Structure 1
Amino acid sequence: SIALCAHRLDQMEELRRAVEMSSCVTAVFLESSHSTNSAYDAILEGALALIEADQATLFIWDQDLQMLEGVASRGARSGDELGLRFRSGEGIVGWVFGAREPRWTLNVQEDAAYQARRSGIKSLLSVPLQTIKGGVLGVLNISRLDDRHAFNDAEIALASTFAHRAAHALQDAEERAGRRLPEPGRPAGPRAEAA
């Protein structure tokens, strides 16, 4: 009976997270009708509401520059990553963009791919903003400033699902703004070489 209660509690927690994610995604869709910047803010607020973290930053692919750029940030040290730029395959952000896979690390200072050594970030989860058509609009960084615990499988899956759904809303906002987007089924940026 204790095992059954524990199982039911786990199911209730999964349901709570699913409802919370749906609320966050709905907020992104609603805000995307106002402006791309409103959608950026809703994505960051949603990420911080869903994942126990101190900071979230959004890196968006700039077609003209052929680089990812930190365009919005929320949290404890939100200004640190704004304006940072990465090529596809460069650093953790560029790797996630090019590989189209999430990447996480418990201690960024020990990860050779991490570029901003003075950021104060301890652990990092980066997930691609991959659209339904297969393009990647950018990368969502979610970070912790301490080592309270590593990102677990549930958080990684939740962040990845949220980023995928948020990318759909962001793509709608960018299309309304008249921005150049990748052709259907094509990646938004160059694919990084496998390392």
Structure 2
Amino acid sequence: MNYEGLNDTQLWKLISADDRKAFGYSFTLYSKDLFRYGQKFTGARQVVEDSIQDVFLDLWHKRKTTNIEQSIKFYLFTAFRREIIRKLSKLRQQEPMDYFAPEQLLEASHMEGIILQQGKNESNQQLYKAIRNLSERQREAVYLRFFANLNYKEISGMMGISVEALYNLIFKSIKILKESLRESVQYQTK
């Protein structure tokens, strides 16, 4: 069966009816996005990978009783966010702070990873510098909206803020990015 043409409702019906191939397809479809999102929280690759595995394992075990009302992607991002925060909180109590170095948070996110890969292009280097001016929460909101392509309602639910507050957060983030880039261009032309 070709799962690529299915919408989330159809895919979820197959998964909840014990279709392992549909479940595998959903893992293939979303695990890379979850991994990139997880790197935003920590540079500890194993913690991110374990969290992804745990979320999918839990979903498979609860497939008969779970009702995904919105999208599978939204469900997975929400469950993954809770799982990785839970794991990191537990590690904070047990492990040294190496897992939580701010440099890793900046270097590891998908958004910045793309920019670093194209580091030869000066405008991308400027954008990377501008992104560093955003708070963690701003980077998370921008990532979820523009890279994970979640809608404002989904993101606001995940982050625990109102849609209006999310609009403001993203608006301010974009404003900071524009100002940082403008300053960078002005500095270079002098």
What TM-score, normalized by structure 1, do the two folds share?
0.25
Larger fraction in helix: 2
Larger Rg: 2
More strand, by proportion: 1
TM superposition score normalised by structure 2: 0.26
